[in-house]
């Protein structure tokens, strides 16, 4: 099976469409949460994802707050303003669909699982080796795909935890074989935060046992213009060009 891995679209339709245009050779889709928040196209993103052949999907923290299932207390002022706008803008259908998204983790195959933050806590950020070590005890599959940090990287879970990041300029392909386990973040489609503004995503080929982390250019200016026109904080538009 060839899966397209999408995480943290954050209402950025231009980025999502660029990924879907770049990767047509997939059979099913894995969605790791945070479809909305920050960006100006929450309904269009939800509609686009609902039309895809999704094999497994989990909610993100912005999804559940937008759907009224969690408090905004943990959000900074800019994120609060964006999520308030998002909730007001969501159609009834999008609101209900987001509210019904399952909480992770979710098993995809006997070797693959997905979550938003970490398997033991959907809101936990896995940034470094210590975070990964804490999450490792709750990983139940050879490969756990996660999002939330918006930073692509691989944590290999052996006797000790090793963290790998690769240059932005080329696709990153790696093979994982049992009994080795790994926590992998394919990066954010709609709001990268690793200094590379291109949309980030993954392609998992379970038959070949290969996961590819890839990037694609998208129309950043159009996404920025929509954010400003919607009355959302200008900082949300500016950061798209910086990948921060």
- In tens, the pLDDT along 180-196 reads 899 999 999 999 999 99
Per-residue pLDDT at 43 exceeds 90: yes
User: Could you tell me the pLDDT band of residue 97, with boundaries at 50, 70 and 90?
Assistant: very high
The predicted structure's pLDDT at residue 174: 83
The pairs formed by 14-17 with CB atoms below 8 angstroms and a separation of 24 or more are: 14/218, 14/219, 14/220, 14/222, 14/223, 15/189, 15/190, 15/199, 15/218, 15/223, 16/45, 16/48, 16/49, 16/189, 16/190, 16/199, 17/48, 17/218
Instruction: Supply the pLDDT for residue 213.
Output: 95
Asked if 124 and 157 count as a contact pair (C-beta separation under 8 A), the reply is: no
What mean pLDDT do residues 15-42 have?
Answer: 97
Residue 170: is its pLDDT beyond 80? no
pLDDT reported for residue 178: 67
Number of domains the chain is built from: 1
pLDDT band at 167 (very low <50, low <70, confident <90, very high): low
Residue 165: what pLDDT? 83
User: With 70 as the cut, is the pLDDT of residue 88 above it?
Assistant: yes
Give the percent of the chain with pLDDT over 70.
98
Give the CATH number of the domain where residue 210 resides. 3.60.21.10
Residue 221 tokens read as 């200016």
Q: How far apart are CA 199 and CA 131, in angstroms?
A: 25
Unique residue bearing structure tokens 């397209």: 4
**Residue numbers of the domain that contains 186:** 2-242
Whether the per-residue pLDDT at 177 is higher than 80: the answer is: no
- Looking at residue 218, its pLDDT comes to 98
Choose between 74 and 85: higher pLDDT.
85
Mean pLDDT of the chain: 95
Given a contact cutoff of 8 angstroms between Cβ atoms, the answer to whether 177 and 226 are in contact is no
pLDDT surpasses 70 at 135: yes
> What percent of the chain has a predicted confidence (pLDDT) above 90?
89
Q: Which tokens is 46 given? A: 């939800």
pLDDT over threshold 80, residue 169:
no
Report pLDDT for 125.
Answer: 97
User: Is the pLDDT at 242 greater than 70, yes or no?
Assistant: yes
């Amino acid at each position: 099976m060839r899966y397209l891995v999408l995480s943290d679209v954050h209402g950025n339709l231009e980025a999502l469409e660029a990924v879907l245009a770049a990767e047509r050779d997939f059979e099913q889709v894995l969605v790791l949460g945070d479809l909305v928040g920050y960006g100006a196209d929450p309904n269009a993103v939800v509609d686009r994802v609902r039309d895809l052949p999704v094999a497994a999907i989990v909610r993100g923290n912005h999804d559940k707050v937008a759907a009224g299932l969690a408090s905004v207390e943990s959000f900074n002022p800019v994120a609060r303003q964006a999520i308030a706008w998002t909730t007001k803008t969501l159609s009834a259908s999008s609101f209900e669909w987001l509210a019904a998204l399952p909480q992770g983790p979710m098993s995809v195959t006997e070797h693959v699982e997905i979550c938003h933050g970490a398997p033991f806590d959907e809101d936990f950020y896995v940034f470094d080796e210590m975070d990964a070590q804490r999450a490792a005890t709750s990983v139940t599959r050879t490969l756990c795909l996660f999002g939330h940090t918006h930073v692509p990287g691989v944590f290999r879970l052996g006797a000790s935890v090793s963290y790998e990041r690769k240059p932005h300029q080329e696709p990153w392909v790696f093979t994982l074989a049992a009994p080795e386990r790994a926590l992998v973040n394919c990066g954010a489609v709609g709001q990268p935060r690793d200094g590379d503004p291109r949309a980030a995503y993954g392609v998992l080929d379970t038959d070949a046992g290969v996961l590819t982390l890839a990037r694609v250019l998208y129309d950043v200016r159009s996404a920025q213009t929509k954010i400003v026109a919607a009355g959302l904080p200008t900082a949300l538009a500016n950061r798209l060009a910086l990948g921060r």
